[in-house]
Structure 1
Amino acid sequence: METEPPNLLGFILGFIQLDWYFLAYLLLLIILICCSGLISASEVAFFSLTSSKLRALEEEEGIGQRIVHLRNQPQRLLATILIGNNFVNIAIVIVSKIILDSLLNDQTLAVIGWWMHEYIFLGLFTPDQLATAIDFFITVILVTFMLLLFGEVGPKIYANVNNLKVARFMATPLNILGFVFSPVSSILVRWGRNIRIEDFNPSKLSDRHQ
């Protein structure tokens, strides 16, 4: 009689130990993904505001004025959003790696590799090869997909429909981030302006064609 393959989930759970550090990192990861989504949504929300909405916001006080102030400095706003998003995304990758290393340590990966070697690929690949492939798939592909879906695509679709709501919610955080990142964003804005001036300098353009 053929024996039934052992339950993979039960095997894995036998090696996984969840503690408060793991739960803290998991909570931190959720917060970081939310932050990434909000910052990404801000880019679409602010730059899709129509002139009529901006005129209406000019007549408001408080948040309305903050939105107009940010929108009137598009280069600085975009630099702030990009810097903030990059910092958050780097933090997401680091925290995800810590979580995955605690879940999928070498022993757990070896068990999964052996199980797939025995019951799925039937000896086609070695357990070590399968363990390496699983580690790459989860660490790189799965984390990237999660980041794109929840930190980029989904929030931007929502912001495209609810741009004013997102702009109101993110006006104060972006003002704070703009102040914190002002030394870096100022350099980026100046650098961008210099590139545009050099590209559209008539004397330099004529020199290139001579």
Structure 2
Amino acid sequence: MDDISTSMLLVILVVLIALSAYFSGSETGMMSINRYRLRHLVQNNHHGARRVQFLLERPDRLIGLILIGNNLVNIAASSIATILCIRWFGDAGIVFATLGLTLIILIFAEVTPKTIAALHPERVAFPSSLILRPLLMVMYPFVTSVNFITNSFMRLLGVDPKRAQVGDALNSDELRAVVNEAGNMIPASHQEMLLSILDLEKVTVEDVMIPRNEIVGIDINDEWSRIIKKIEHAQHTRVLLYRNDIDDAVGFLHARDVMRLMTKNQFEADKATLVRAARDIYFIPEGTPLNVQLLKFQRRKERIGLVVDEYGDIQGLVTLEDILEEIVGDFTTSMAPQPSETAVAQPDGSYLVEGAANLRELNKEMNWQFPTDGPKTLSGLIIEQFGDIPNARLSLRLGGYPVELIEVGDTMIKQVRVLPHHFQEPRSSSGD
């Protein structure tokens, strides 16, 4: 080393620090790259992405290669810096070399390149792969030897390196976070639909069904003239046919079948003909998640079904459109009132809300936070809190909102006043 000039040693030192920065940045860039975007680029035959994916298939070898190179250049830089400082400062140069080189490496070979690589991983990883891939082939025996020793030591510590996977599959919560963080890359309407699909497993058929007291049906025991009138003025394509009571359901009448029947048998159509035209009923157990029910509708080629409890009593009616509306929003004409109609804004900032309003729909449309893990309607939630049907003009705090009972019927709360601007975070229970 005495034969090498100081200026040459300085040039070598700068080159070594630059190589150290390259290895540090490459490591961060490779490990920070978005694996899902990388797979997309590979499918589009992006050459840089293909090289990076090849290197990331065995991350232990990639990290081993980078760390071998980084440690070699750092140790060499430390030796050269020590020689230079001894030439300049004598024996005290060892201290100056240690402190000075540590600061230089931290700033120029660690923090700066790694920060740049973390912010722009593709810009760093793709060009770096041009060097790292052939370098891996050259140093393959040395890298595999180091990896063998390292993996053996890890097994002694109880860690199986083969079980460590890079880019594990995302669960639903992680997918939800990815969609939320997509920003402007995915339109807001598309984000809402994707999140709604992920939420289907948390929603059951009871949350979207038409309650039994709102099911539009035809009693086959009615007078024939009334039956014909109901058929002519039906608002739905399918109408439930029953005898005296909903629980004694016969089947679903499809408008197309009824029209064909009336056309063929204009003078012979009767109740027996209607009963024969009714289609079989598809029954759905209560508590079925919407994602499961959607698949069942698809497999059974059904579009409508009756929700029944464990005793076989009919609780409501669910259609394929009800489930699809949970994903894409309302797109069908419905006779049921919408949340915007059941929650009427008042001048003082409060809302008059119908007791039959669905809690999930209220929360979704009004951005409220009523609990939805129990009763499905606002009336049901209030009755649950009191344990009985209360008198009008009583007040309570429900889910953090002050609620005043305005109108109470014999079997349910008909109308309440909600003051959302007085919201407080609910404590252990949903009501006070």
**TM class, shorter-length:** 0.5 to 0.7
The two structures have a TM-score, normalised by structure 1, of 0.66
Structure with the higher helix share, 1 or 2: 1
Check whether the contact 1:38–1:155 (CA below 8 A) recurs between aligned residues.
yes
1:56 to 15, 26, 40: 40
Offset at residue 36 of structure 1 (A): 0.2
CA change 1:200–1:25 in 2 (3 A) is: closer
Instruction: Give the equivalent residue in structure 2 for 1:193.
Output: 151
Q: Deviations over 1:25-55 (max 9, x none)?
A: 2111111111101101111110111122211
The reply on whether 1:82 has 2:55 as its aligned counterpart is no
CA change 1:136–1:55 in 2 (3 A) is: same
Check whether the contact 1:57–1:67 (CA below 8 A) recurs between aligned residues.
no
CA change 1:200–1:28 in 2 (3 A) is: closer
Matched AA of 2:61? R
Matched residues, number:
156
2-structure distance, mates of 1:189, 1:158: 28
2-structure distance, mates of 1:102, 1:57: 52
Instruction: Give the equivalent residue in structure 2 for 1:112.
Output: none
Check whether the contact 2:82–2:94 (CA below 8 A) recurs between aligned residues.
no
Offset at residue 168 of structure 1 (A): 1.4
Check whether the contact 1:32–1:88 (CA below 8 A) recurs between aligned residues.
yes
Deviating 4+ runs (over 6 angstroms): none
Matched AA of 2:116? Y
Structure 1 portions without partners, runs of 5+:
1-19, 107-131, 202-210
Matched AA of 1:141? L
1:33 to 5, 8, 17: 17
2-structure distance, mates of 1:193, 1:102: 43
Matched AA of 2:19? C
Structure 2 portions without partners, runs of 5+:
161-432
Partner secondary structure for residue 5 of structure 2: helix
CA change 1:196–1:137 in 2 (3 A) is: closer
Asked which structure has the greater CA Rg, the reply is 2
Offset at residue 196 of structure 1 (A): 4.3
Offset at residue 187 of structure 1 (A): 1.7
Offset at residue 197 of structure 1 (A): 4.3
| Matching of residues 1-210 of structure 1 within 5 Å | 21-58=5-42, 59-104=44-89, 106=90, 134-198=92-156, 199=158
2-structure distance, mates of 1:73, 1:81: 13
CA change 1:160–1:139 in 2 (3 A) is: same
The structure showing larger relative contact order (alpha-carbon pairs under 8 Å, at least 6 residues apart) is 1
CA change 1:22–1:60 in 2 (3 A) is: farther
Partner secondary structure for residue 60 of structure 1: coil
Structure with the higher strand share, 1 or 2: 2
1-structure distance, mates of 2:22, 2:87: 28
Offset at residue 192 of structure 1 (A): 3.5
Check whether the contact 2:85–2:94 (CA below 8 A) recurs between aligned residues.
no
Offset at residue 200 of structure 1 (A): 5.4
Check whether the contact 2:82–2:93 (CA below 8 A) recurs between aligned residues.
no
| Root-mean-square deviation (Å) | 2.3
Instruction: Give the equivalent residue in structure 1 for 2:391.
Output: none
